[in-house]
Amino acid sequence: TLSLQEAEELISNYNIDKLPTVIVKGELNKTNLNSTLSASGDALIFTSQTAPYYDVLTNSIKGLVVATIITPANCTECTNINPLLDELESNGIIIASATTITEEEASDLIQNYNILTLPSLILSSGASEYPELKQICARLGTEETDGSFILRNIPPPYKNLTTGQIE
């Protein structure tokens, strides 16, 4: 294992853009690694990192998800979103932090994202690093221009913010 500084020459030589990675050198023609690793010069490189990973180009960690749960006022019987977060984590999604805020505290978010029912779940743009999560979000909500995912199709009971009624 090398530090980032020690690895800079290797990163440059082999056009590595995600860490961690594995560089395999030697008698590569005697291996079956070509099916799982990518050729780069005189080596094979692991390029199929799953989130979270370190992005060399942006100098940042990708795939950390921040979850914001917005709960409705006066609706104790409304759907509980927490089991959904547990399910996401059990499927390998890294939830770096989860915050629950009230309808009143979230008024700007509700307005900015045009949220019409509560509870709702906002996942940060780090969620886009998980292809399976993008598929779920496409069925249950929307991807916003800032990269956030809004889960909008929460099962009843929920609060309709247009009517103020529990449905």
Say how many residues make up the chain.
167
Which of these, 96, 77, 79, lies nearest to 88 by C-alpha position? 96
Q: What is the DSSP-derived secondary structure letter of residue 121?
A: E
pLDDT score for 6: 81
**148 CB contacts (<8 Å, ≥6 apart)?**
113, 122, 123, 124, 125, 127
Which of these, 90, 145, 86, 92, lies nearest to 121 by C-alpha position? 86
pLDDT score for 154: 87
Strand-pair partners of 40: 43
113 CB neighbour count, 10 Å cutoff: 19
For residue 89, the one-letter residue type is: E
pLDDT digits (tens, 9 = 90+) for 10-59: 999 899 999 999 999 988 888 888 778 998 889 999 998 999 999 999 99
Omega within 30 of 0 (cis) for the link into 157 = yes
